[in-house]
Amino acid sequence: MIITGAIFYLFILLSGTGGEMCVSRAMKSIGEVTDFRPRSIARVFVRAMKVPWMWIGVAMMALGFFSLLGLLSIANVSFVYPASALSYVVGALGGKFFLGENVTKQRWAGVLLVALGVVLVVVGRG
Amino acid sequence: MPNLVCEQEEIVSDEAIRAFEHPKRRVQLRVKTYILIMLMVLLNPISNILLKKGMDQVGPMVSWAPSTVATFFVHAFSTGAIWLAICCLLGFFVSYLLVLSWADYTFVQPSAALSNGLTAVLAYVILHEYISPIRWVGILLICGGVFVVGRTHPQTTEQL
């Protein structure tokens, strides 16, 4: 059961976060959405679906979602959800190197606080 | 001629930078970013609680045999709570995509971690799950980290 859980956890971490970064890249290539009327939002989605990064991202996020379902079938939600927050460290690294974002010292400090919180959530498993 | 093109590109780039740094635009950007992140923070924990309720009805996956895995997921997707959760996740995903069209991933992702705190509270109140004091401290640290990230500017890059 522990190995199964670990496999699910790894997929949530890598596939889920990787997928989010691909989706982020796709949306950045479309540009800032300024019109929030339903028709304009629908048009944004049609444009987004034409970007290959969006499909790669959605496929990876789907794999992450199935892994989340698997892990939730064997563990408490108050453990699973905060523990998957380790993806914030993976996300910060990906944001810097894959998306070229400016991750300032303050933002790194926030990410580290989140990661430390995750460690305590895992250690404090009741 | 190449010089002219080069100069023109420089002017456009300067204008973009000025618009990006304009105080009114910064406030507008923050307001719409926070509204969409708030939607994400509400919808994600609700979907997690619904997913847990649904998966409790399905029960654990007992083996990795293909037929067992298939039955497990068919059972999962015939549960009402799972579909309600998927509806909440769709709302979450729409907000997420829209906010990512302008805000940094490294801003949005940690800010959405506030949903960790809300998930724990809902798990405690609705599912009656036990949450140890150490875990509460961990959740508070996550929320603190989100607060620190939230004080940085949401956008450090332009269109890719």
pLDDT at B159: 57
Q: Between residues B146 and A10, which one has the greater pLDDT?
A: A10
**Domain range enclosing B119:** 103-153
How close does chain B come to A56, measured CA to CA in Å? 15
Dmax (CA) of chain B: 72
DSSP code per residue over A97-112? HTS-----HHHHHHHH
B116 touches chain A (CB under 8 A): yes
Model confidence over A33-53: pLDDT tens digits? 888 788 888 888 888 889 999
Contacts of A92 (CB under 8 A, 6+ apart): A103, A107, A108, A111, B106, B109, B110
- Listed as ranges, residues in chain B with pLDDT below 70 are 1-21, 157-160
How close does chain A come to B151, measured CA to CA in Å? 8
pLDDT at B27: 80
CA nearest to A13, candidates A118, A112, A102: A118
In chain A, whose CA is at the least distance from the CA of B104?
A: A101
Q: Give which of B135, B137, B153, B158 to mutate to test A binding, by max A Cβ within 10 Å.
A: B135
Model confidence over B9-20: pLDDT tens digits? 444 445 555 555
A49 touches chain B (CB under 8 A): no
Domain ranges of chain A: 2-123
Residue A79, pLDDT > 70, answer yes
A103/B106 CB distance under 8 A = yes
Q: Between residues B3 and A113, which one has the greater pLDDT?
A: A113
Please provide the average confidence, as pLDDT, over all residues in chain A.
84
pLDDT at A57: 94
B81 touches chain A (CB under 8 A): no
Q: Are residues B57 and B68 in the same domain?
A: yes
State CA B7 to chain mean position distance. Answer: 40
B106/A32 CB distance under 8 A = no
Q: Tell which of B101, B130, B145 closes a domain.
A: B101
Chain A environment of B159 (Cβ under 8 Å):
28-32
Q: Residue B30: inside a domain, yes or no? A: no
B1 touches chain A (CB under 8 A): no
Q: Are residues B76 and B118 in the same domain?
A: no
In chain A, whose CA is at the least distance from the CA of B62?
A: A1
Residue A61, pLDDT > 80, answer yes
Look-up: residue for tokens 């708030």?
B38
Residue A58, pLDDT > 90, answer yes
Q: Residue B91: inside a domain, yes or no? A: yes
pLDDT at B23: 74
Model confidence over B24-54: pLDDT tens digits? 777 878 888 889 999 999 999 999 899 888 9
Average pLDDT (A93-118) is 85
Residue A7, pLDDT > 60, answer yes
Look-up: residue for tokens 């989100």?
B146
**What is the ipTM, given to two decimal places?**
0.71
SS3 A115: helix
Residue A65, pLDDT > 70, answer yes
| φ, ψ (nearest 5 deg) of residue B156 | -120, -5
Is residue A94 exposed (0-12), middle (13-18) or buried (19+ Cβ within 10 Å)?
buried
How many domains does chain B fold into? Answer: 2
Q: Between residues A40 and A61, which one has the greater pLDDT?
A: A61
| Interface contacts A/B by beta carbons within 8 Å | 211
Q: What is this structure's pTM?
A: 0.69
Q: Residue B134: inside a domain, yes or no? A: yes
Q: Are residues B53 and B83 in the same domain?
A: yes
Q: Between residues A66 and B24, which one has the greater pLDDT?
A: A66
Q: Are A19 and B95 in contact (CB under 8 A)?
A: no
Q: Between residues A30 and A82, which one has the greater pLDDT?
A: A30
Average pLDDT (A77-95) is 77
Q: Where are the alpha helices (DSSP H) in A1-126?
A: 2-11, 17-30, 38-48, 52-72, 77-83, 87-97, 105-123
pLDDT at B2: 41
How far apart, in Å, are the Cα atoms of B27 and each of A56, A81, B105?
33, 32, 19
Residue A29, pLDDT > 80, answer yes
